[in-house]
Amino acid sequence: MSEQQSHKPILGISMGDYNGIGPEVILKALEGNQLIRQCTPVIYGSLRVLNRYRTLLQMKDWNLQAISKPEQANPKSTNVITCWNDQQTEVEPGKITPEAGKGAYAALKKATDDLKAGRIDALVTAPINKDTMQSEDFKFPGHTEFLAQAFDVREALMFMVAGDFRVGVLTGHIPLESVRAHITPEKLTAKIKQMLHSLRGDFGIVKPRLAVLGLNPHAGENGLLGTEEKEIIEPVLTRFREKGELVFGTFPADGFFAAATYRQYDAVLAMYHDQGLIPFKTIAFNSGVNFTAGLPAVRTSPDHGTAYDIAGQNIAEPGSMLEAIYLACDVARYRLESAEIAKNALVSTPQASESQAPGKAQRSNRNS
């Protein structure tokens, strides 16, 4: 077996708000070290907090291994890095507290530093409370924006993934009244490029098919209900098609999802947050994953929030967390394999076209 085939990624998992369901779904996903054949898990948070939840969830026979840095991780265990002095930390499931926000930030900051330094291969982030996280150090609407700044990326792409169903958004965590001002040819072009690049480089799709939704009801009804489609969106899509890209639209959002037209495409670009995420979560809530495209490192998260109303009751489902872990491992391995193939390519080999790049031909487009 080659080095890239045998590589088992070191996977960081930030604990999120410890009064939400983050610790519970993490422990349920990793219980009994059931994923150690896929990755070496390193949880960033608090061993004290996790042991408290192990007791609540009756997982007493399964031990977590305390370490201080990823290099110490035991590949046969679930490892934990405590990111703050947790001796006085009080776990209060379902309660919103500033202490939990500080703990979530400490875990995220430490995990991000290790991800940037290459000490872990990928990061899965458990849900945070965006309000209690706010501080002098964290002034972001969410994980995506924080990570984009940490990696000096102008703008990352929130990519919701559930198997072959993928939804990106042109505008993310901004007020609805601000959406129109952000719909520009430049921004739309950049987002489409990001999506196509990720579909090829992270998911191995040789010739991706992308559907783009309209902004207005009925995609503007030929200008009757709005002109953004005709004046801004469709000219951009035409330019992509002239370059040979399979980019189509604009589609009315309601009928597009109701008729399951999304199944004909490798990804969908929505104009704003709820336009894309409401149908995505309706269709794939228990298996959906938030993947941050456009970063030099791999980051995923479950597509649900802190769910304070069920925290600590042993009823939270770990399905989305499991899928987030699997996707992070898959993308990390695929990026490594592609890099190894490119590095080892013979100089005398004729240069492949973009649609036949090294490593990409191994995964066929499901729509071809």
- Radius of gyration in angstroms for the set of CA atoms belonging to the chain, rounded to a whole number: 21
E strand intervals along 149-226: 157-162, 165-169, 209-213
Report pLDDT digits (tens) over 29-80.
999 888 999 999 999 999 999 999 999 999 988 999 999 999 999 999 999 9
Q: How many CB atoms lie within 10 A of CB 123?
A: 28
pLDDT(365) > 90: no
> Please, what is the average pLDDT of the chain?
89
Q: What is the mean pLDDT of residues 146-161?
A: 91
Q: What is the mean pLDDT of residues 341-345?
A: 74
Report pLDDT digits (tens) over 205-224.
999 999 999 999 999 888 88
Furthest-apart CA atoms within the chain: distance in Å: 65
pLDDT value, residue 274: 94
pLDDT(199) > 90: yes
To which residue do tokens 């207005």 refer? 216
CATH assignment, 159-287: 3.40.718.10
- Tell the burial category of 322 from Cβ atoms under 10 Å away from its Cβ (0-12, 13-18, 19+): buried
pLDDT value, residue 240: 98
Give the residue, 172 or 89, on which the prediction is more confident: 89
CATH assignment, 1-153+295-361: 3.40.718.10
To which residue do tokens 């949880």 refer? 43
Q: Where in the chain is the domain with CATH 3.40.718.10?
A: 1-153+295-361, 159-287
| Percent of the chain clearing pLDDT 90 (strictly above) | 77
- Report whether 248 contacts 205 (CB < 8 A): no
pLDDT(261) > 70: yes
- φ, ψ (nearest 5 deg) of residue 66: -80, 130
